Amino acid sequence: MNSVFLYTPKFEQFEFSEHHPFKPYRAKMVYELCYRYGLFDYPWVSVLDPEPEDASEMLRFHSREYVEALRGANKGYFDVSMLNHGLGSSDNPVFKGVLDFSLLVLGATLTGADRIASGQADIAFNPIGGLHHAGPDFAEGFCYVNDIVIAIKRLFEQGLERILYVDIDAHHGNGVQDAFYDTDQVMFVSFHQSGDTIYPGTGFENEMGTGKGLGYTVNVPLPEYTDDDAYIRAFKTVYPPVVRAYNPQIVIAQVGLDTLKKDPLTNLRCTNNSFQEVISEIKQSNSKVLALGGGGYSVKDVAKGWTLAWAILNDIEPHDPYQGLIGGAMYGFETSSEELYDPPHRISENLKKEVDRFVDQKLAFIEKNVFPYLGIT
């Protein structure tokens, strides 16, 4: 096994705005924790400093007009015409270097995809990638470039024909779904808080694809207050049989961590214990995995979770050689030597019954209406 962690200090040069919840410096936090826990100290692991992609690469998915709008916004000056492309909203503010940031994210994701496609790597992780909301002609949901769609299209050109995309972000990956809704070359599987209660208001179980893609979009909407038990049950009911039926050449996983109970923008009640189980299932499902960060806005908790994800993807047990000696003083975002693992969290029995009832209904629909298209009985 060879694995590649994509990181550059250049990520920290960008800020959407002072109070915007998307913090690019998360990448540094994950990098530092992985370093601290010895997760780069193995011969099959390498850390690569990605280069920005050329803007022309965005044209695989985005319109020329949108790319030019991003170019115009790159100096940080807003023009009212940019609103036509979703630029200048509270979710997607215009900031200095907005195109540069997008091209750096894209460069990191495409480097990981290329390494896997060429056989140089089996596992790659870009913690700042996974911007699954951006559309062909607009920014949306903190996402200015859809690095996922572009990576999939590039992998098509490199000869791959069966790509499974799994999205565990609390927000439905509408941009990726829309891009491949009518094809069987991409199996789209998403577990997310129901669009009834959260942005972007999509991803219902009856969104199943169209034409050749009918049955190749699988959405598992989850209720508010979904806990670890319900999340794991939903994931293990759907993901393993879908993977077996589709037999993908690669798995692309958007591993957003806004499912955590501490996340300020979502209403799920998971801990990183269920996240670890899900990452382990993804790791076991295919020998080739491109992992991309996505959402997550309780920043310290996201850094811990993605550190655990990197450990699981590499079959490494994290070990902190400094624990109990110097605390976290040399790791700027911590004040103490915290454990990576969350304590268990339980919701009330009455609430759990409501959550389980909702999840059971969605799983029953998928088993009855989606699985038959894939030959799953």
What would the pLDDT profile of 203-256 be if each residue is shown by its tens digit? 999 999 999 999 999 999 999 999 999 999 999 999 999 999 999 999 999 999
- List residues with catalytic annotation: 133
Q: How far apart (Å, rounded) are the C-alpha atoms in residues 35 and 20?
A: 27
Burial 340-352 (b: 16+ CB within 10 A, else e): bebeeeebeeeeb
- Asked whether 240 and 278 are in contact (CB, 8 A), the reply is no
> Which candidate, 183, 204, 359, places its Cα nearest to that of 274?
359
Residue the block writes with tokens 């460069």? 107
Q: How far apart (Å, rounded) are the C-alpha atoms in residues 142 and 145?
A: 9
**pLDDT score at 320:** 83
Q: How far apart (Å, rounded) are the C-alpha atoms in residues 115 and 145?
A: 21
Look at the chain and report how many structural domains it folds into.
1
Report, as an integer, the average pLDDT of 4-10: 98
- Asked whether 205 and 190 are in contact (CB, 8 A), the reply is no
User: What is the band of 336 on the pLDDT scale with cuts at 50, 70, 90?
Assistant: very low
Q: What percent of the chain has pLDDT over 90?
A: 94
What number of CA atoms fall less than 13 Å from residue 169's CA on the CB side?
A: 29
Report, as an integer, the average pLDDT of 170-183: 98
Q: Residues 352-360: contacts with CB within 8 Å, 24+ apart?
A: 352/227, 352/229, 352/230, 354/223, 354/225, 355/223, 355/225, 355/226, 355/227, 355/230, 356/230, 358/222, 358/223, 359/222, 359/223, 359/226, 359/230, 359/233, 359/234
What would the pLDDT profile of 293-303 be if each residue is shown by its tens digit? 999 999 999 99
Q: How far apart (Å, rounded) are the C-alpha atoms in residues 213 and 198?
A: 26
Residue 118, φ and ψ in degrees, nearest 5: -85, -5
Query: Which amino acid type is present at position 267?
Result: N
User: What is the band of 321 on the pLDDT scale with cuts at 50, 70, 90?
Assistant: confident
What would the pLDDT profile of 353-373 be if each residue is shown by its tens digit? 999 999 999 999 999 999 999
Burial 136-166 (b: 16+ CB within 10 A, else e): eebbbbbbbbbbbbbbbbbbeeeebeebbbb
Measure CA of the first residue to CA of the last residue in the chain; give whole Å: 34
**pLDDT score at 337:** 41
Report, as an integer, the average pLDDT of 57-85: 97
Which structural domain range is residue 80 located in?
A: 3-374
What would the pLDDT profile of 35-70 be if each residue is shown by its tens digit? 999 999 999 999 999 999 999 999 999 999 999 999
Q: Has residue 327 got a pLDDT over 70? A: no
User: What is the band of 325 on the pLDDT scale with cuts at 50, 70, 90?
Assistant: low
Number of helices (H), then strands (E), in the chain: 9, 8
**pLDDT score at 338:** 58
Q: What is the pLDDT of the chain when averaged over all its residues?
A: 95
Q: Has residue 24 got a pLDDT over 50? A: yes
* Angle CA 113–288–299, to nearest 5: 70
E strands, the chain, in order: 3-6, 45-48, 123-126, 163-167, 186-193, 217-222, 250-254, 289-292
| Token digits of residue 141 | 């949901």
Q: What percent of the chain has pLDDT over 70?
A: 96
Q: How far apart (Å, rounded) are the C-alpha atoms in residues 172 and 272?
A: 19
Q: How far apart (Å, rounded) are the C-alpha atoms in residues 317 and 344?
A: 20
More confident of the two residues 119 and 336: 119
**pLDDT score at 335:** 37
Report, as an integer, the average pLDDT of 280-292: 98
The CATH number covering residue 80 comes to: 3.40.800.20
What would the pLDDT profile of 340-353 be if each residue is shown by its tens digit? 999 999 999 999 99
Q: Has residue 324 got a pLDDT over 90? A: no
| Token digits of residue 153 | 């299209």
Query: Which amino acid type is present at position 77?
Result: Y
Q: Has residue 96 got a pLDDT over 70? A: yes
